[in-house]
Structure 1
Amino acid sequence: MQALVERLRTWARELGFSQIGVAGIDLSEAEPGLQAWLAAGFHGSMHYMQAHGMKRARPAELVPGTLRVITARMDYLPRTSSIDWQAMEWQGLADPQRAQVSMYARGRDYHKVLRARLQKLAERLGEAVGPLGHRVFTDSAPVLEVELASRSGIGWRGKHTLTLHREAGSMFFLGEIYIDLALPVSEPVTAHCGQCSACLDACPTGAIVAPQRVDARRCISYLTIEHDGAIPLELRPLMGNRIYGCDDCQLICPWNKFAQKSTVVDFDPRPDLSAPSLLQLWAWDEAEFLRRTEGSAIRRIGHQRWQRNLAVASGNALAKKEDLALRDVLMKLLPTASDLLAEHLHWALAQTPAPL
């Protein structure tokens, strides 16, 4: 069976995965932490997390017959990234006229990429062992991905709650294959965050409320992607120019100096999303938004939420420097804007540069 796992790792590398592990299915030790997180309301409006309850920590309830979980890591740092990519990202965040999109979302939708390749990997395993009960997941079901990744040796849970690897940082996606085959489990690795608190200190909104504890209601990734209502007023100025996701806790992490470049072309950044200006993105009507985000993870938030995020970033830009062209765009949108967008546009237009 161990030889089979080694063959599985070879097949995985051929499919673009960077690492494979095997986890057991007893996650009972993780249940108290999950219950406490939900009880605190840290999941915000992601009601499905409450609805799924403890199924997230019980793989055999999610997929009956499951005996093991194959975990997979796929690096997504673009192949064209320069050696000073972290400094380049900080530079982009410092430019209020620029619209900052999280690095993972600049290429093809990772759900599509990983799911298809995980399915191929499962089929390859089935060809080797015979009929195989399985189901693949990529951030698409009640799965404790980081817990499974930690138990299977992919890495350890960092203080920002993401999986960290000593030789790859955290710039990677996770995927899982639930199987009814008792493969030998992988050895977990020890944690190496030590006394470092860089991610907690760097979070723009203070969403990392304690080591390994994130209040999603304050997280910019949640606010710009999952949250479908108004952005809380007190958080808008803290969002800067981040219009889809946030990378700050990863950019500041010392382990990401070891981040590995992806071997998968799907994660090459689209020119439209690499370093766009706010004005460039405001020019997209709904049809243009749908066309330019086809096959992208961004598309699922819809045009209205996209414009809401742009409005917040525009307000933050106007608070730093008067921009007549940007102000003109916001004014022209007001007459036909939905109530949600109009409220954010009015807020943005009310922002004025701080006195010198």
Structure 2
Amino acid sequence: MVVKACMSSRSCMSSILRSSRAQWGPAQERGSFMKAAVLREIGKPLTIEDVTIGDVGPREVRVAVKAVGVCHSDLHFAEGHVPFPLPTILGHEAAGIVIEVGSDVRSVKRGDHVVGCLSAFCGHCASCVSGRLVLCSTGETRRDAAMPPRLSIGGEAVHQFVNLSAFAEEVLVHENALVAISRDMPSDKAAVLGCAVLTGVGASIHSAGIRPGQTVAVIGCGGVGLSAINGALLAGAGRIIAVDRAPAKLELARRFGATDVIEAGEDLAHQILEMTRGGVDHAIEAIGLKSTVEAAFAMLRPGGIATVAGMMPVGVKIELEGFALLGERRLQGSNMGSNHFPVDIPRLVDFYMQGRLNLDDLVAAHIRLDEIGSAFDALRKGETARSVIMF
């Protein structure tokens, strides 16, 4: 009650803001330098620059990045398919070691090996307390506008990308963007858990709710799609059909648990309906294209569920056959695999250690930070599952 009364007072709020400014000081006079890949203009190459990383706040954690995956979502933002303020540092699939913690941090400590996740959560809003952490939208894990930015260049603020900005030697994040993991976990494999694996496995287990014996089609065999196949295997699916246009990726899909593979043709839905004699129980779309989302819905048997895990460009519309809804078919989205990452990621580490989660075939290449352009080129060509930047 005392806090509420204070916050309702204009003079008290002004005092708090003045105190915050005095504590943090001007951005250009605080923090230390690090190297990072900066996006300054849509469609232009990222530039390696010296970036100032701020001092650690009460609930913030500073992490030395050891590995960060290059995700197709990063490319979407770099090419302007999804708007984001510039300049920014992309990267959201990171693993590292904690080097400093704020005074109020309780979930991790210095020396912990951690994985970052973009779905940072406040912990007390309606979405959080009902178990839907990925839908948290309070913004409380970001710094208040009255405080200096976490990242800056020559006094100019650098916008932190989805709570992380991990194409950098270090990250400064809210503690609820991190989870501690076993120190035995290799950093390159740990990094991809934070997005590709969490999204794909979670789409199969959490979002779709695949049950033992069901038939599943996964459209797109990139990092998310391969992880969705592995997730379907973990969930006990009876038949897992991998779909892609690249024969090499289809062969790779078999190593993740696919029982059948299809090289996508003009009428993908018809192919699956013929193959399964009536459709699949679940279709997971892991690309983010209008045509493949529509095909995912069209290939369902009555009562089936199509789950879209791929990121679709802003403004794209979907067309469905309305009459098919009478068969209680459903189309739904999946945000980051509907994850509960503080619990899910340590479990995924255990699955990897037990040999039940294939991460070795997911990591296709190790690169340096200044080779990030080549990783984006590989994504455009669909050549590899995942490139991982190593520090």
Task: Name the TM-score, length of structure 2 as normaliser.
Answer: 0.23
Higher relative contact order (CA 8 A, sep 6+): 1
Is the strand fraction higher in 1 or 2?
2
Task: Name the TM-score, length of structure 1 as normaliser.
Answer: 0.24
Is the helix fraction higher in 1 or 2?
1
